Amino acid sequence: MRTLLINGARLAVEEAGSGPAVLCLHAGVADRRMWQPQWEWLSRHFRVVRYDQRGFGESPLPPGPFSLPRDALGVLDSLGIERATLIGCSMGGSSALHIAASHPERVERLVLIGSGLYGYEPRVPEPPLLAEADRALEAKDFERLLEIEEAVWVVGPDRARREVDPEFLALCRAMNSTALAYVGIQAESLERATTDVAALPEMAIPALVVVGTLDVPAILDTARYLVGCLPAARLEEIAGAAHLPSLERPGEFNAILANWLGVPAPHA
């Protein structure tokens, strides 16, 4: 791991392998560790980069306005990478889509896992628990906040915690906990009012859209919307997984990704 100064933030960055570049952008309830099940395998075929986005993992959150997509481009620039396949989960997927919309020449392919989309309003209501999460954050009840985020994003709305692998739960709790260190710092995303919806039909970049079948309805709706709008998109659903299918069901996810990238699957 090394630290890169990108747009005023010190980002913890790792890279491995050689060949065509792949940049991994983690979810908002995770950090770069979520890519561990893909890391060694992908590095046999690609130059793979992962990093903790500002305010996550080992990357502190400085005060002031920021842009996560701009940070991602800054990482690529610092490493001398002109073009890459972007693999983004949730928040990371939103950044990947924004880069593809604004700088398509930098993007070889897109892998969007439980992705968000700047400017899109899902056609289904969000889980009621998320409103309670806002109240817990305001009250600085961080234990309750972690419980709610775990219930919504890690376990999923349609199963019990006891049905989920304890080691997976523990890693997710550890990753999500690190962001709490930066509660209260005045930092606001420049993409708050951004929309990429209108750009989708013109986005000819090949896109693999992946969701867990146990994810929240809003994410499932967004995935289907993306596939309906993107000209070169394919949808894959992973049964028995919630918002982080690449981490929760790495065997199924890696097989799908290997087929799409045209490389041997792990242990194949």
First to last CA, the chain: 29
Cβ(3)–Cβ(60) under 8 Å? no
Q: What are the boundaries of each domain within the chain?
A: 2-123+185-261
**What tokens appear for 238 in the block?**
């992973």
Residues of the chain with pLDDT under 70: 268
Residue 232, pLDDT score:
97
Residue 130, pLDDT score:
80
Residue 229, pLDDT score:
97
State pTM to two decimals: 0.96
Residue 268, pLDDT score:
52
Q: Name the CATH topology of 2-123+185-261.
A: Rossmann fold (3.40.50)
Number of Cβ within 10 Å of residue 28's Cβ equals: 20
The strand pair at 47-51 and 21-25 is best described as parallel
